[in-house]
Amino acid sequence: MAALQDQPVDRLTTYPIACGVMRKLLNDGAGISYHDWATDPKKFADAFIAGQKYFDMDFAIMLMDLSVMAGDLGAHVRMDEQNTPFVDEPCINSVEDYEKLQVPNIKDPKTRSHVLVEGTRQTVNALGKEVITAGFIEGPLLVLTQARGAEFVFKDMYDNESSRAAVHKALATITEFDKELVKAFGREAKPAGLVWDYLWGSYSCLGDTEYEEFEGQHKYAGCLNELTAKEGMAFCVHNCADLPHLDTQVAKWKPAIYSMAYYPLIPGSPSAKESIAKGYADNTLLAGNIDPQGYVRWKTEKMVDVTKKLCTEVATALKERGLHSRYCIASGCEVPPSVTTKLENIKACVDTTKQYGVVQ
Amino acid sequence: MSKEQIFSGLETAVVTGKKDESRKYAEQVIADGLKPLEAIDNGLIKGMMVIGEKYAARQVFLPQVLLAADAMYAALDVLLPHIPKDAAAKRVNMVIGVVEGDVHDIGKNIVKTMFTAAGFDVHDIGKDQPADAFVEAIKNSNAAVLAMSTLMTPTMDSMKATVDALVEDGVRKDVKIIIGGAPTSPEFAEEIGADMHGVNAQDAVAKVKAAI
């Protein structure tokens, strides 16, 4: 909590976004399938609880996958044994279909929205006094692109006035769906925070004008962000896209936590020190930005080295900005939930931050 | 309408993403007996180059790029059947696809568009494609280039499986392989035996052109 308020702390906080990979810790270390983890609230929660015991992190953020809401809207979700579930058959197949979307009944135990809320509730009950907990929810435009296919949505936005209106109609329906989920998180699961995935706020995808029209404006993200706080949860954002809309999503929206990635090969991708120097950590706890691939491919020595360097970079930048603690050493995106992900690298990241993440 | 006006109309139709307009001008090319390749070079490709530059400069974004691509393909559908066989044979064949286990194809489609605009004959085998499908497509199209993409970490191994399948089949030596997608890197390309890694569509086109 001190880090969120930029109070002096003994060290930086840390949270590699380890979610689906935690299923490897269940079943006496033999692991369970992705399907079992993503459809059973108890197993979902048990994995986070086991992960916290194993890694001793500072947060628990209950991300399931990005097809939960689209699946409940009617899209077909493919669940491989050991791969993140994803939509393989959209439910919107024409411009006319946008208007057919209906808000699902998320109290129905068959919906994965219900599984997500209930699994989050069980995790919060077990870990809420120990770490900062947060639910994870998909923003309206993300859900729509999952339900229709991103390429079609982007074209429908500007193909003609009729298709443009249909996109807005669908976004309005999904915003209502999101409101139901926010209330369920706030009233039933009661995590300390709620993390919104607003990944289309990326200059590789949409400009300011496009993003404002199709997600940023008050009737979409604006009112959802307000509702999050009204329901008693800290408003947080995760955006692992390249070239994120920091002026909108951080400076304007002022989330408590903003989790972001770093793409060194992409010109203009903001590093940790650049983000801090430009003032984005002045009112928000930034989180990032270790390459998620490192948890799969690096030797543990390299993970230690990279984490140490990031701690030093962040500590220096915070000091230069006159800040104390507003950075969390994390992965830029979810730690790959692959069976080949090295749990020892997650542990190395956490332990190295605890040892070397000292902020003077 | 003069030749210049028709070509200019094609270019504008692509830049503004108007597929009905581009198709109309393409049909005019055929009706007037103009050379389709000249129309592609001086109309469609010029338009896509403008869009590519504007996208790189963040003056337009994905929606506009995708609509421009649609406009280009609508005109190509009209023009390509009229290209003389000897000219068509000179185009470099390439195969592009998303590897097995992944259905994210928006990046692949942008890359395909830029290669098409650069004069390649692109054979798109789609998404979630097993290694065998890539091998088959390369053999069937006599491709000199293979482009593969994935957005997800767990499916990166499918890229290696595809390269391995090409080696096993004996066609690896016949193609230059470029990979791309958010989790990939030049190091990963080297690790799996690919030739190149592209950060984005423009980068991919430039690297492949230099390599062949």
CATH number of the CATH domain containing A227: 3.20.20.210
Mutation target among A155, A242, A334 for the B interface, most CBs of B within 10 A = A155
The token duo for B209 is 């052109």
Judge whether A43 lies within some domain.
yes
Rounded to an integer, the average pLDDT of A116-144 is 97
Q: Measure CB to CB from residue A205 to each of B62, B67, B70 and give the nearest one.
A: B62
Judge whether A133 lies within some domain.
yes
Q: Could you tell me the CA-to-CA distances from A103 to A66, A175, A179, A188 in Å, in that order?
A: 17, 9, 10, 19
pLDDT in tens, A307-318: 999 999 999 999
More confident residue, B10 or A338: B10
In chain A, what residues touch B153 (CB-CB under 8 Å)? 292-293, 296, 336, 338
Complex ipTM over 0.90: yes
Judge whether A226 lies within some domain.
yes
Task: Flag whether residue B61 sits within 8 Å of chain A, measured between CB atoms.
Answer: yes
Judge whether A359 lies within some domain.
no
pLDDT over 90, % of chain A: 91
Q: How far is B33 from chain A (nearest CA, A)?
A: 31
Q: How far is B3 from chain A (nearest CA, A)?
A: 28
Rounded to an integer, the average pLDDT of A266-293 is 95
pLDDT over 70, % of chain B: 100
Q: How far is B154 from chain A (nearest CA, A)?
A: 5
**pLDDT above 80 (res B151):** yes
Q: How far is A5 from chain B (nearest CA, A)?
A: 33
User: Would the CB atoms of B153 and A82 count as touching at under 8 Å?
Assistant: no
Domain, as residue range, for A46: 18-260
Looking at the structure of chain A, the number of domains it has is 1
Judge whether A52 lies within some domain.
yes
Rounded to an integer, the average pLDDT of A320-325 is 93
Mutation target among B66, B129, B149, B202 for the A interface, most CBs of A within 10 A = B66
Using an 8 Å Cβ cutoff, are A71 and A91 in contact?
Answer: no
Residue type, position A119, single letter: G
Judge whether A199 lies within some domain.
yes
Q: Measure CB to CB from residue B63 to each of A84, A157, A292 and give the nearest one.
A: A157
Confidence band of A360 (pLDDT split at 50, 70, 90) = low
User: DSSP states of B133-145 as a string?
Assistant: HHHHHHHHHT-SE
Question: To 10 degrees, what angle do helices B62-79 and B19-31 make?
Answer: 20
Per the prediction, chain A carries an average pLDDT of 95
pLDDT in tens, A159-176: 999 999 999 999 999 999
Judge whether A228 lies within some domain.
yes
pLDDT in tens, A256-273: 999 999 998 888 999 999
The token duo for A19 is 């979610």
Judge whether A351 lies within some domain.
no
